[in-house]
């Protein structure tokens, strides 16, 4: 995993944006309106971390974009009336990222390129309901 700086966000509102890059003509809608971090993954995918622009109900959206510039998985970390600031993002390996957001203990994000259907019991964060039976690639503990 390697940090990048070539994606751009165009906010639609405080909770949604259009993600683009100068290297591709395509764009994709993502949750969040502030681009916090972006990484390339060894398999050609990209990991995008965005936040909602709300001072009291901050949300962190972790999104995986595949080689076809489509969202393959997304997790939201948030708590009502709890502010969150993404801090101390540290790449630990080619598929692990450690970071702090809205609690004292850090989160560990693991990207599983093979994917899985049933989330692990220790998973933190929420996924959109429509993805309940789809393949998932992100695991947060």
CA–CA dist 138, 141 (Å, integer): 10
Distances (CA, A) of 62 to 25, 78: 23, 11
| pLDDT greater than 70 at residue 62 | yes
CA–CA dist 58, 81 (Å, integer): 8
pTM of the model: 0.89
| pLDDT greater than 90 at residue 48 | yes
Decide: helix, strand or coil at residue 24.
strand
Q: What is the pLDDT of residue 26?
A: 86
User: Of residues 97 and 54, which shows the higher confidence score?
Assistant: 97
Show the CA angle centred on residue 117, arms to residues 90 and 69, nearest 5°: 60
């Amino acid at each position: 995993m390697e940090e990048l700086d070539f994606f751009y966000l165009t906010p639609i509102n405080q909770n949604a944006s259009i993600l683009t890059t100068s290297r591709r003509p395509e764009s994709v809608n993502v949750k969040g309106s502030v681009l916090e971090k972006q990484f390339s993954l060894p398999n050609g995918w990209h990991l995008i971390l965005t936040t909602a622009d709300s001072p009291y109900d901050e949300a962190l959206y972790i999104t995986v974009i595949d080689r076809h510039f489509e969202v393959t998985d997304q997790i939201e970390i948030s708590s009502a009336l709890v502010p969150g600031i993404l801090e101390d993002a540290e790449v630990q390996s080619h598929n692990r990222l450690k970071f702090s957001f809205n609690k004292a203990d850090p989160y560990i994000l693991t990207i599983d390129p093979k994917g899985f259907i049933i989330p692990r019991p220790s998973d933190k964060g929420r996924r959109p309901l429509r993805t309940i039976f789809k393949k998932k690639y992100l695991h947060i503990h």
